[in-house]
Amino acid sequence: MRPLEGVLVLDFSTLLPGPMATLMLAEAGAEVVKIERPEMGDEMRHYHPRWGSDSSNFALLNRGKRSLALDLKDPWARERLAPLIARADVLVEQFRPGVMARLGLSYDAVAARNQRLIYCSITGYGQTGPKRDVAGHDLNYIGDTGLLALSSGDPARPQVPPALIADIAGGSYPAVLNILLALRAREVTGRGCHLDIAMTDNLFPFLYWAMGQGAATGRWPGNGTDLVTGGSPRYQLYPAADGRIVAVAAIEDRFWAAFCTAIDLAPELQDDARDPEATRRGVAALVAAQPSEHWRAVFAQADCCCSIVATLAEAMADPHFVARGLFTYRLVNDSGATMPALPMPIAPQFRAPAEAVPRRAPMLGADNDNDDFA
């Protein structure tokens, strides 16, 4: 038995933060019902690349869920939701503050029908505060919290980060964490609650070291100036002769000593505290003199926290991740094509075997005629 079997989740969210959160809940056994707009549905359905009738993004984030297509501005549609709300355990929504209230679906309104309901609101800036109504996306959120300023590349050619940090780490993961805490609290109190998940709020734990440094010393980190943002030769990306990138993370002295020995760094450069830039240039020249496969073999013997940056295709074929079973689960679309399912951070003992997992994302309105939702 998966731990969330018997838990009913109503998912009013779209795009990434909410759908990934409810995917994790579904992975742990919850029944997730997406409430979507008629005709269009979740915007993510229409993204590219297409994979069957919908986008590959939608398929990855919404497998195993159900779909009700309802116009929430229509009183009949809201009435149809009433029995579902009355027996739901969790509701996830991702509208701007006030939208659900205008639809007659505020926390107070639904709690009056179901006091055990856990109502999770995911927004960029939260339900309160001067920015509560400001529109934004991931790049705005990491920019507003100081995270982007720590490592955005050369100001003449700033780099967009490769991951949607705020959406997933600031939205999806805290939503799941707090939903699980609320379910546990409900066992004691018998009552649900309203969870205000602000993606920006949840980014500050990623800045722990920068906050500590600034508060303790008065010297706030700059762009790429500190240990883990590119300011040290010990934690740095170095191009090899073939253009592949060597990731050096030899922070501790024992790893740094092993690294310096492995690449035969000149003794006068090994004390990187004396002239960090000279050490960085020396390491860069040595790494650039040999191809990545040379360094792969060297680092395999040196035990110094160094590796060759892999492409995503290489990572998905890596024997380690294959052996870990990350890509055992498969998705299938309406055309019969398959691809790996998105791995979720749910321990294997809390998931169903791969062969027992629903492998499709729902077609829009697929459950509109389902008597269970009448």
| Residues identified as active-site | 137, 167
Q: From residue 42, how far is each of 46, 55, 69, 70, 359 by CA, in Å? A: 8, 11, 10, 12, 19
- Strand partners of residue 9: 32, 90
On whether the CB atoms of residues 373 and 84 are closer than 8 A, the answer is: yes
On whether the CB atoms of residues 292 and 242 are closer than 8 A, the answer is: yes
SS3 of 241-293: the string is CCCCEEEEECCCHHHHHHHHHHHCCCHHHCCCCCCHHHHHHHHHHHHHCCCHH
- What is the DSSP-derived secondary structure letter of residue 340? E
Identity of the amino acid at 168: I
- Token pair of 214, please? 């600034």
On whether the CB atoms of residues 308 and 244 are closer than 8 A, the answer is: yes
Tokens 């020249």: give the residue. 285
Scored b (16 or more CB within 10 A) or e, 270-287 reads bebeeeeeebbebbbebb
